[in-house]
Structure 1
Amino acid sequence: MKKKIIYFLIAAVCLSGCTADYLDKKPSKSLVVPTSMVHLQALLDGVSNSMNTAPGIQVLATDEFYHPESNLANIPFLDRNSYTWAKDIFEGNGVRDWEYPYKQIFNANIVLEGLSKISRDASNEKDWDQLQASALFYRANALFNLAQVFAAPYDQPTASALPGIPVRLSMDVNETVGRGTLQQTYERIIGDLIDAEKKLPAQVSYINRPSQPAVTALLARIYLSMRQYDKATEMASRCLELHSKMLDYNTLTPSAARPLPAPFSGENAEIIFYSTLQSYSTIVNSALSGVDSVLFKTYHADDLRRSCFFVARANGLFGYKGSYVNAVTLFGGLTTSEVYLIRAEGYARQNKTDLALADLNTVLAKRFKTGKLVAANATAESILDLVLLERRKELFARGLRWSDLRRLNKEPEHAITIKRTFAASELTLPANDSRYVFPIPDDEIRSSGIEQNPR
C-alpha cells in the first residue's frame, strides 16, 4: 500500500503539470509536497485520476442485479465472490475499492500539508480557505465510503466498541495507523465536513468540486446511514435551501441507449457532486444479467424511470441504462432527488405525513409523463414504506442499496434475507449477517497488521 501511494503521488504530480522548480528538495520523493495553490488544486481536480470515484463492489452483493448460475463460473473471481458473499472475496489480491479512497485521502492530506506552508493573507484567504475545505470534504467522503464497505454499520450503542477504519491524517506513508473505533471514524468524518461547510461556496462552476450543498447533502446521507433521522432531515433541508433544482425526465428521450444527459454538459441541474463507482461490468452490465424483476414491476407504465433506467433484452430480462454518468459506469454522486428522499424519510419517521408526501411528489412530478401523475397518498402507518420503495426505485444502482440494507436490517419490520443459487445450493444473506462487512484486503492486513473483519 505504501509503495502504491508513493507511485500515485509521483504520477499525480506529473499529471498536474508540476515542474521541479517549485518542489521542495527532499531526500525522498514520498515527501515531495507542491507549494503552489494552483498545483494543490490540480491534485483535487483529478477526476480521471480517482478523486471522484467511490467503491462499487457492494453493488454486486445487493438485491439489485441477478446473474444466472450457469454463467457464474465464467466471470472474474472478484465479481463472483462478491455476488455469492464468499468467505475469501479477494483471494490475496488488492482491490481498488480500498486503494482508491486511500489515494483520495493521501491527496487531501498533501493539500492540507501544502497549505500549511503557504501564508494565508488578504490576497489569497478566499482561495486558501476553499482549498482547505475541499481537501477536508474529499477526505471525509473517502472515509465514509470506506466505512460503508469495510466497517460495521453504525449503531450508537456499539459504535465505541467496534473497529472503524484506519484514519490517515498525514501524508507520511510510514506512519502506523490502527483502526480505532467506529465512533472515532464517524466523528472524524463529520468533524471534517462541519469544518468544511462554512468555507465552501454555495455554487461551483464544476460539479466535480465540493460546495456547501455537497457538504450538507453528504451529511444528510451520513446521518441517514447512522439512523440519526432528525439530523439527516435537518441537513437535507439546509441543502435544499441552496440547491433544489430537479431534472424533468419529460425532456429526455427514453428510447435512447443512454437517455440521461452527460454530467458535464450542464443539462443535469440535479447533480450536486459528481462521483462514479468502481466498475464491475461483468454482472452489472452483462447481457446475461437482469435487474430485480420484482422491483421492476413496481414502476408504473407512465413512470419515465421505467424506460429511462431500463432496457428489455432478448432473453426476457431487463438491463440497466440509467446512469447519471451517461455511460456504462455507475453514478455514485450526490443529487437533489436523493436529498428530497432523505428528507421525506425523515419526515415520515417524525409522523409528518403531509411534509413527507410533499417531498415525494416533488420528485415524482419530474419522473412521470406530463399530466399522468396521480399524486402519491398515504397514511401515517404506510408513508414510511412508500418512501422507502420510492427510494429504491429512484436511487437504483447508485451504490446506496448496500447502506440501506445495513441500516434497515436493524429494524425488524424492514429486515430481509437475500437469496442466490450457486453450485446447486441456495445461498442466503440474512439480516445483520457478518458478511454485510467486506473483509479488509489481504495485502493491507499483511503490511499493516490491522485487525481483520470476521466473515
Structure 2
Amino acid sequence: MRSLHKIFSMAMTGILLTGCQKYVDIKTQGQLTPGDITNYRYLLNNTSAYEGGPRMSDLASDDAGIVDGSTQQLALAASVSYAWFANSYTWQAAYPVTTSAFTDYEWNAMYNTIAYCNTVTTEVPTSTGGTDADKAELIAEALVHRSDAYLMLVNTYAKPYNAATAASDPGVPLLTQETTVQSLVRTPVQTVYNQIITDLKKALPALPATQAYNTLPSKASAYGELARCYLYMNDYTNASKYADSTLALKSTLNDLGPLTVVNTTTYPLRKFDPEVLLSKVPYGGVPFAPTVIRLSDDLLTLLGTKDQRYNLFTCLPSVMTSSYTAAGGRFFYKDKALSEARNIGPSVPEMMLIKAEAYARAGDANNAMLWVNNLRKKRFKAADYADLTATSANDALVKVIDERHREFFCRMLRWWDMRRLKSDPQFQKTYTRTFAGVTYTLEPTSNKYTFQIAGYLIGLNPEIVQNP
C-alpha cells in the first residue's frame, strides 16, 4: 500500500496550484459552499487538467526521422534536458534517471487526470445543490476522461493487447477511488481494458449527444473511445459498431482541398474542430526547436506531394529555424501553424478508418475502400484526387493501414498501430536509426515496443514492477 501523492509527486503540485486554485479556492471565498455540486462543475471545466497524454509515442514511431549530425540532433544530444526526446526516438528508457528532475511528466499528467476524475466520482454522489441528473452528468464526464487516460496509459506502458496473455500481462496501477492510500501494483492488461469499457458504457446514458466545446465529454466522445478501445483489443466487430454510433452523432470532415495555408483564420482550433470527438494533446503543448518533429523519408513518400496533408501539415526546415535547412526534409507543422498542440483524442476520421479496417478484415474490400475514399476526397484538391482501389481484402487492409498512417502522423496512433500490427507477417518490419553515431534497432519481437516506467517513480513506489 502506498501513499498516492507519491505517484503524482511533480505534476500534481503544479496543477493543484493553478487549476484548483483558479476554479475552486478563489471561488469558494464567499461564492461557493464546500460540498456544493458547483465546485465539481468548476473542477471539470478546468479542461487543461484533463487533456495531457503521451508525447513519446510520436518520437518512437516511424513518423520521425532525425538526421544524425544535423544541428537538431547535436542540440538534442548536448543537453540532458532533452534526453527524454533522444531516448524515446532510439527506443530506450525515456526517463531512466532516478532523481525528481527526470520524473515522467506524461505518466504524471495522465494520473493527475485520473485523480481529478476519482475526486468527482467519489464526492459528487454526496454533494449538495444539484439534481440526480446533474450529478449523473458530472460523474459521466469524469468516467470518460478517466477511461481515456487509462487507454493511453495501457497503450504506452503495457504490452499490446493479446487475448491469450492479457489476463496475466502487467498493465498499469488501476485507481478508481480517491483515497490517501492504495495499492499501486500493476493491474493486468485485461482488467484495465474491462474497466475502461465498463466506465464508458456506464457514462453513456447521462451524457449529452454532443458538446459546444470538444474539451467536454459527450456521447460522441464515449462512443469514439469505445471504438478506439475495441480496435486495440483486435475486436473489429465491436470497434465498427461503436464507430457507427459515433458517426450517427458527429460525422463532419474538414475539407482540405480548397486551402492554401493553415492558420487560425482558415482552420478551426482544436476545441471547435468538428472532426474532434474529445480533445486530448501530447503533454507539453506546442514543441519548439530542437524538439520539433522532423518527418521520416518513408512517411513523406507515403504522403506524396499532392496530398493536402503534406502541403498543409508539413513544412520546410527553414519555417522552423534557419539553422535546420542543411539537413533537408520536412517537419510536422500543424502545431506551429495554429499555435496550439495537436489533437490525439478520438476523431471522426479515426471512426471512418475503423469502419474501413473492419470491412477489410471481414473480407469486404469494396466497402473498405469506400470508407477510405470518403475520407480521401476531403484530403486533396479536386483536380488531384483519384479513388484508391484494392485487388483483394488483404490489399484493402494494407491500403487502410497506409491511410491511417497518412491521417494520424504525429498524433500518437501510428505508434499504437505499429505495436498492434508487429506480430502480423503482413506488416512486420525491423526499424533502424542512428543517433550520435550509434545505431539502434527495433525488431518485431522487441520489448522496446513498451515504454519503461520512470526510474524515479519506481523509486517512490517500488511495488510497481518495471517493464523488461
Taking structure 1 as the reference length, what is the TM-score of the superposition?
0.89
Q: Which has the higher mean CA deviation after the structures are superposed, 435-444 or 316-325?
A: 316-325
Contact 2:109/2:283, CA 8 A, preserved across alignment: no
| Aligned with 2:104 (options 95, 105, 128) | 95
Q: Are 2:211 and 2:217, in contact at CA under 8 Å, matched by a contact in 1?
A: yes
CA distance in 1, matches of 2:52, 2:174: 18
Q: Deviations over 1:341-367 (max 9, x none)?
A: 111111111112221111111101111
d(CA) in 2 for partners of 1:304, 1:225: 28
- Render the CA deviation track for 1:265-312: whole Å, top value 9, x for unaligned: x4x311211111113877x86498621112212224432112011112
Deviation at 1:22, TM superposition (A): 8.4
The aligned residue for residue 60 of structure 1 is: 59
Structure 1 equivalent of residue 212 of structure 2: 205
> Matches of 1:319 and 1:36 in 2, distance apart?
48
* Greater RCO, CA 8 A, separation 6+: 2
Name the structure with the higher helix share: 2
| Residues 432 and 236 of structure 1: CA distance in aligned 2, closer, same or farther (over 3 Å) | farther
Report sequence identity in percent: 27
Partner of 2:192: 185
SS at match of 1:249: coil
**Equivalent position of 1:229 in the other structure:** 236
What value does the CA root-mean-square deviation take over the aligned residues? 2.6
Structure 2: gaps of 5 or more residues: 318-324
Over 3 Å counting, the alpha-carbon distance change for 1:107 and 1:317 in structure 2 is same
Greater mean alpha carbon deviation, residues 245-254 or residues 85-94: 85-94
- On the 8 A contact 1:324/1:331 being kept in 2, the answer is no
Matches within 5 A, 1:392-431: 392-431=405-444
Contact 2:36 2:128 in 1 (8 A): no
Structure-to-structure mapping, 1:10-409, within 5 angstroms: 11-17=18-24, 18-19=27-28, 35-48=35-48, 50-70=49-69, 71=74, 72-75=76-79, 76-87=82-93, 89-92=95-98, 93-118=102-127, 124-254=131-261, 260-264=267-271, 266=272, 268-279=273-284, 286=290, 290-313=294-317, 314-315=325-326, 316-323=328-335, 326-327=338-339, 329-380=341-392, 381-409=394-422
Q: Deviations over 1:316-335 (max 9, x none)?
A: 21111124992363321221
Q: Tell me: CA distance 1:80–1:257, structure 2 relative to 1, closer, same or farther (3 Å).
A: farther
1:208 aligned counterpart, secondary structure: coil
**What is the SS of the residue equivalent to 2:384?**
coil
The structure-2 alpha-carbon separation of the partners of 1:73 and 1:183, relative to structure 1 and needing over 3 Å to count, comes to same
**Does the Cα contact within 8 Å between 2:262 and 2:338 map onto a contact in 1?**
no
8 Å CA contact 2:103, 2:454 repeated in 1: yes
In the aligned structure 2, how far is the partner of 1:216 from the partner of 1:437? 27
Amino acid of the structure 2 residue aligned with 1:408 = L
Q: Secondary structure at the match of 2:439?
A: strand
Alignment of 1:430-445 (within 5 A): 430-445=443-458
With structure 2 as the length reference, what TM-score do the two structures score?
Answer: 0.87
CA contact (8 A) 2:344 2:412 kept: yes
- The residue number in structure 1 matching 2:322 is none
**Displacement of 1:233 after TM fit?**
1.1
Flag the 1:189–1:432 CA change in 2: closer, same or farther, 3 A: farther
**Higher mean C-alpha deviation, range 368-377 or range 83-92:** 83-92
Classify 1:325/1:171 alpha carbon distance in 2 versus 1 (closer, same or farther; 3 Å): farther
Closer/same/farther in 2, CA of residues 211 and 99 from structure 1, 3 Å limit: same
User: Post-superposition shift, 1:11?
Assistant: 4.7
Relative to structure 1, is the Cα distance of residues 285 and 354 closer, same or farther in structure 2, using a 3 angstrom cutoff?
A: farther
Task: Please give the alpha-carbon distance, in whole angstroms, between the structure 1 residues aligned to 2:190 and 2:31.
Answer: 40
Pairs aligned (count): 440
Runs of 4+ in 1 over 6 A off after TM superposition: 21-24
Letter in 2 for 1:137: V
Show structure 1 runs of 5+ residues with no match.
Answer: 25-33
